[in-house]
Amino acid sequence: MNHIHFKHIAEFNRSQDLPEPENPLFCIGSKKLSPNEVIMCSPSGEEVSYSNQFYVISLKNIVSGEFLYGRTRYDGSTGTMMFSAPDQTIVAKDVVVSSESWYVLFHEDFIRNLEIRKKIKNYNFFNYHVNEALHLSPKEEQTIKSILRNIETEYKNNQDEFSKEIIISQLETLLKYADRFYKRQFLHREEINKALYTRFRNTLDAYFEGNKLEEKGIPSLEWLANQLGVSHRYMSDTIKTETGKTAIDQINLYLIEEAKNLLLAPHASISETAYTLGFEYPQYFSRLFKKKTGLSPSEYIEHAKN
């Protein structure tokens, strides 16, 4: 995987075909596309990681592909905001964007000894280990773009003694709105996670009831994620957040629960049960069953009879 580290804002701007910054410590820029135009932001089929030596706030409309930032995959046809502090890494794969893309870039020195520097340290969305991108509703996106245009207007004016103060004030407003919208997103996240996990279980039910386990074997994470319309990383992260167990753990637990039912049928065969559940080798099924239940399949059958 290629990794790119931008030390200076000017380097970042050149990589995005943006104008040279008017201030080496602060820049705001945008790229506007025609309604049907899209831009490929990362090489097809390749993952590219990058980091910066400055803060970055970006707003993009992601048509396809994915950004991997912290624990979460980001995508979405509406506006997606991302916040990164210096030296944090973002990975992009097959990313295609459309509409307007905005960037706000500023060095630590631009906000040094200012109150906003303390506030930024308290905004959790700059901490990539625990947070995620902000997915905006159309109304929220218009609010954010209005603030960005205000910052851009001041940035492009002739610089005077009031310029930095006005830009900082607008930047603080931008971060306050982002904080508000993040709190809205977190309120809905639990419901979204539960809905995805329910669909995950329903997909497994349909697969089992259609005898697909016996015909095609245990479904892969990629196949399941495709049925749900998300990436396998996003599916795994969401299920782990909701249940405390990985997607693979949940599949194995599902298989064990089904195995318990099959093993209690009259004249049950351990080998037939293994094959019905998609296991190529009964020995592997027996090992997994004992690992999860503490009993071998034969012990479980005997225990159930007593």
Domains 2-189 and 210-305 share a fold: no
Task: Identify the three-state secondary structure at position 144.
Answer: helix
Q: Work out the average pLDDT over 74-92.
A: 74
Domain ranges of the chain: 2-189, 210-305
Distance between CA atoms of residues 52 and 58, nearest Å: 13
Q: What is the DSSP string of 215-252?
A: HH-SPPHHHHHHHHTS-HHHHHHHHHHHHSS-HHHHHH
pLDDT at 55 > cutoff 80: yes
Per 3-state DSSP, what percentage of the chain is helix, strand, and coil (rounded to 5)? 50, 20, 25
Q: Tokens 């697909």 — which residue?
A: 212
| Count of positions (residues) in the chain | 306
> Which residue has tokens 């990985």?
246
R_g (Cα) of the chain, nearest Å: 25
- pTM beyond 0.85: the answer is no
> Quick check: 248 pLDDT over 70?
yes
HSE, side-chain direction, 13 A CA sphere, residue 10: 4
C-alpha closest to that of 159 among 11, 10, 26: 26
Q: Which CATH class is domain 2-189?
A: mainly beta
| Residue whose token pair is 């319309």 | 229
- CATH for 210-305? 1.10.10.60
For residue range 220-241, what is the model confidence (pLDDT) as tens digits?
999 998 898 877 777 887 888 7
Q: What is the mean pLDDT of residues 277-295?
A: 92
Quote the pLDDT of residue 108.
93
Decide if 98 contacts 37 (C-beta within 8 A).
yes
Question: What is the tens place of the pLDDT at every residue in 139-148?
Answer: 999 999 999 9
76 against 112, higher pLDDT? 112
For range 12-23, the mean pLDDT: 89
